[in-house]
Amino acid sequence: MKISKPLLRSICFFIILAALFAIATPVFERKTLYGAWNYTAKVGGYFNEPDESIELIGFGSSHMYCSVNPAVMADYGISAYVLATQQQPLCATYYYMRDALKTQKPDVFILETHMVNRAVGEIEDSVIADATEPMPMSLNKLRMIHSLVAEKENKVPYYLTLFRYGSRWSELTRDDLSFKRRALQDEHRGYVYLTDATAVAPTPLPESPEHVEINARDLEYLECMVTLCEENGIRLILLSAPTTMDQESYNNHCAVKRYAQDRGLEFIDANMLTEELSLDYSTDFYDPNHLNLSGSTKLSSYLAAQLGAYIADEE
C-alpha cells in the first residue's frame, strides 16, 4: 500500500518530536543528585547495581530510608538496597517492587508500613515527582503514574514531564546537561544518612486503638504485593519502624498488625523492641518520627541478625 506524502511527513514529524522529547526530558527534569535526600541518585543507582547482586530490598517512605542501613547489613554479609521515597504511597511501592525484580532476584522484601491509610485522595505533586521521576521509563512506570494521578484534573504533565519543567532554561546547570542515568550511583544504597540527634520524649501508646479498616485501595495493593512475593519466592516482612504515635497513627498501626495476622505475614513492630534494641531517645532519633544513624544502626543490626541465616540458606 502506497503511503501518501502528507501522511509520511506527519509520521516523520511525530518521530522527530518524540526523539526531541526523549532527549530533552532528562535534561530539563528536576534532579536531586547531592545531599542526604538525593532521590535521583538513590533510585537511579539501584538500576546500575550488578544484576542479581542484591539479597534484601527495603520499600516505603522516609520511615524506611531512615531506618534500614545497607552498610550495617553488609557487616552481616547481607547485600541490601533501599528503594524508598518521601511519603511513598502503597500504589507506588507496588510498582517499585515490580521494577526491582527486573534486574535482581532478592530473597527478602521489607515493607515499612507507615503509609498505610495515609495517601488518601489527591497526592501532592512533590510526592509524585520524587516517586516517579528517578525511575527509568517503562510500561511499569506509566502504570505507576496512572495510579498516582487518578485524582488529578490535568494528568498530561505527569506523563510528559517536559511540560512541567520546560521553563527551567535559566536554571540548567552542567549536571543537567551532562546527566546520564546509567552513571548514577548512591554510596549509601538508598539509605538517608542523618547524624543529627533530637532528644525525643517517649510518648506512651494510646491505651486502646479505635477500630479502623485499611482502605480498599491500600488493601488492594497490599494483596498485589503479597501475590508478587509469593510468585517470586520472596519473603515479605512488614516493618513498623520506631516513631512517636498519635491516636490516628496507632489506629493505622493496629490495622496493619491485624492484617498481617489475618494473612499470616511477618510483622516486626520495632516500637515494641525499644529495650531489646537499646534505643536511646536522647541520641537515636533525628526527629520525633525518624531514626538517625545511631538508631538505624541498632535496628539494622537487629534485622540483619534475624535474617542472616535465612538469606545464607537461600544462596
Q: What pLDDT, on a 0 to 100 scale, did the predictor assign at position 28?
A: 75
Burial class from Cβ neighbours inside 10 Å (0-12, 13-18, 19+) for residue 96 reads buried
Rounded CA gap, 192 and 241, in Å?
A: 15
Give, to the nearest 10 degrees, the angle between helix 125-132 and helix 139-148. Answer: 170
Give, to the nearest 10 degrees, the angle between helix 216-231 and helix 90-100. Answer: 20
For the segment 284-293, the average pLDDT, to the nearest whole number, is 96
Q: Mind listing the pLDDT tens digit for each residue in 21-79?
A: 677 777 778 888 888 889 999 999 999 999 999 999 999 999 999 999 999 999 999 99
Is 1 a residue whose pLDDT tops 60? no
Domains recognised in the chain with CATH numbers: 32-120+176-314 (3.40.50.1110)
Question: Which residue type does 275 have?
Answer: E
Pairing of strands 266-269, 235-240: parallel
C-alpha angle 140-222-265 in degrees, rounded to nearest 5: 130
Q: What pLDDT, on a 0 to 100 scale, did the predictor assign at position 90?
A: 97
- Output the nine-digit C-alpha cell for 240: 513498623
Q: What pLDDT, on a 0 to 100 scale, did the predictor assign at position 315?
A: 63
**Within 10 A of 49 (CB to CB), how many other CB atoms are there?**
16
